[in-house]
Amino acid sequence: FAQLGAESEWRVANTKSIKETADQLGVELRFLDAQQKQDKQIEAVRKLIIQKVDVIGISPIVETGWEEVFREAKAAGIPIILSDRRAAVPEDLYATYLGSDFLEEGRNAGRVLAKLVNGEAKIVELVGTVGSAPANDRFKGFREIIKNYPGMKIIDSESGDFTRARGKEVMDTFLKQYGKTITAVYAHNDDMALGAIQAIENYGLKPGVDIKIVSIDASHGAFEAMIAGKLNATVECNPLLGPQFFDLALKVVNGDIVPKWVPSREGIFYPDNAAEILPGRKY
Ligand code: GYE
């Protein structure tokens, strides 16, 4: 499995799910972490090809730039399963894609925010890793909804690379530049929202009250922030892909027919019942 990194709570839960499931099934897993660098991830795939593994799972850091190495895997007779993130390659270069509907997540974030602010907001957006499938789609899906609300304006949009540290830095800059003009934050993941919450508090405003915040993932940290009244909603993106991944991997290796896209099941969560739900959450 060529994992892309360990940038967020989501990713840590995703990695844990994959490793735990392999253990439970007694599958021999070679796990490589590319530390958020595409060249490292390409190198990881090449290593796995040389090791003659039966099947390669990968969460491509960005959408483009995969054709060459995927062709090498194909030539070696090793099927590729895209897990979590898509790659922009011809369909014959991968067996299946297991992951979320990022476009719908972006739309849901837009719908939720529109309701929260009654169609009136000056929004800053914290974008995920530039060129990644979730950042591309969450950007697009959100705009599809927002364009129907003339009172909702995106005043700035900047990448925080899906990390808490960058989310805070970008929000610091936004606050310096626009100050109290900002009434809402849309963060492509919870970690960046948590960073933004810190920045807003340091600036002397109340996150969740003075500035409404909606993000994506539904991680533990997001639930805690909702319980503290600092985050207004989180749209679920499920990282616990291990069981479905190995189920697909086995089918692919056995030559069974699998769908080209296997979507994961997801919801939306709000502060009202966050404390009740949190204990039952696995990430
Ligand atoms: O939302 C974010 C992570 O690819 C869906 O990557 C994943 C995203 C997730 O860093 O927290």
Question: Ligand 1 centroid to 19 CA: how many Å?
Answer: 18
In tens, the pLDDT along 35-58 reads 999 999 999 999 999 999 999 999
Going by C-alpha positions, the residue among 86, 76, 187 that lies closest to residue 138 is 187
Res. 10: pLDDT tops 90 = yes
> Ligand 1 centre and the CA of 85: distance in Å?
8
Q: 163 pLDDT band (50/70/90 cuts)?
A: very high
How confident is residue 283, by pLDDT bands cut at 50, 70 and 90?
Answer: confident
Residue 217 beta carbon below 6 angstroms from any ligand 1 atom: yes
Tokens 């405003």 sit at which residue?
205
Predicted TM-score (pTM) of the model is: 0.95
Ligand 1 atom closest to Cα of residue 5: 10
Q: Which pLDDT value is given to residue 266?
A: 77
Dihedral pair phi/psi, residue 176, rounded to 5°? -60, -40
**CB count in 10 Å sphere of residue 209:** 12
* 108 Cβ inside 6 Å of ligand 1: no
Least confident of 225-229, 265-269, 275-279: 265-269
Minimum-distance ligand 1 atom for the alpha carbon of 9: 11
Rounded to an integer, the average pLDDT of 16-41 is 97
The CB of 237 under 6 Å from ligand 1? The reply is yes
pLDDT digits (tens, 9 = 90+) for 112-132: 999 999 999 999 999 999 999
pLDDT tens profile 99-109: 999 999 999 99
CA of 10 to the centre of ligand 1 (A): 6
Q: What are phi and psi of 262, to 5 degrees?
A: -115, 105
Instruction: Report, as an integer, the average pLDDT of 90-107.
Output: 96
pLDDT, averaged across the chain: 97
The pLDDT confidence band at residue 267, using thresholds 50, 70 and 90, is confident
Q: Is 58 in the pocket of ligand 1 (CB under 6 A)?
A: no
CA-191 nearest atom, ligand 1: 11
The shares of helix, strand and coil residues in the chain, as percent rounded to the nearest 5, are 45, 20, 35
To test the ligand 1 pocket, which listed residue (7, 10, 102) has its Cβ within 8 A of the most ligand atoms?
Answer: 10
Question: How far apart are the CA of 201 and the centre of ligand 1, in A?
Answer: 25
Question: Phi first, then psi: what are they for 81, rounded to 5°?
Answer: -115, 120
